Amino acid sequence: MTDTPKSHGRLSISASLQPRDLMDTRPRLKGAWTARIITLFPEAFPGVLGLSLTGRALDLGLWALETVDLRPFGEGRHRNVDDNPAGGGAGMVLRPDVMGAALDQAALGTPADRSRWPVVYLSPRGAPFCQAMAQRFAQAEGITLICGRFEGLDERVIEEYAVEEVSLGDFVLTGGEIAAQALIDATVRLIPRVLGNQASTEEESFSEGLLEHPQYTRPAVWKGRAIPDILLSGHHAKIAAWRKAEAERLTKERRPDLWRAYCASRGRDPDGDREL
Ligand code: SAH
Q: What is the DSSP string of 58-102?
A: HHHTSEEEEEEESGGGSBTTTTB-EEPPTT--SS-EE-HHHHHHH
Residues 122 and 233 in one domain: no
User: Does ligand 1 come within 6 angstroms of the Cβ of 125?
Assistant: yes
Residues 242 and 155 in one domain: no
Of the three residues 188, 216, 240, the one that is the final residue of a domain is 188
Residues 239 and 109 in one domain: no
Residues 218 and 127 in one domain: no
Fill in the amino acid letter for 221: V
For residue 231, tell me if it sits in a domain: yes
Burial class (CB in 10 A: 0-12, 13-18, 19+), 199: exposed
Residues 60 and 99 in one domain: yes
CB < 8 Å & 24+ apart, contacts of 196-205:
196/53, 205/131
Domain limits for position 90: 20-188
pLDDT, one tens digit per residue, over 124-159 is 999 999 999 999 999 999 999 999 999 999 999 999
Residues 121 and 165 in one domain: yes
Distance of CA 168 from the midpoint of ligand 1 (Å)? 9
Q: How many domains does the chain have?
A: 2
For residue 1, tell me if it sits in a domain: no
pLDDT, one tens digit per residue, over 38-82 is 999 999 999 999 999 999 999 999 999 999 999 999 999 999 999
Distance of CA 174 from the midpoint of ligand 1 (Å)? 7
User: Does ligand 1 come within 6 angstroms of the Cβ of 94?
Assistant: no
Residues 70 and 172 in one domain: yes
The enclosing domain of 218 has a CATH number of: 1.10.1270.20
pLDDT, one tens digit per residue, over 166-189 is 999 999 999 999 999 999 999 999
- Ligand 1: which atom is nearest the Cα of residue 129? 23
CB 100 within 8 A of CB 154: no
CB 153 within 8 A of CB 121: yes
CB 49 within 8 A of CB 184: yes
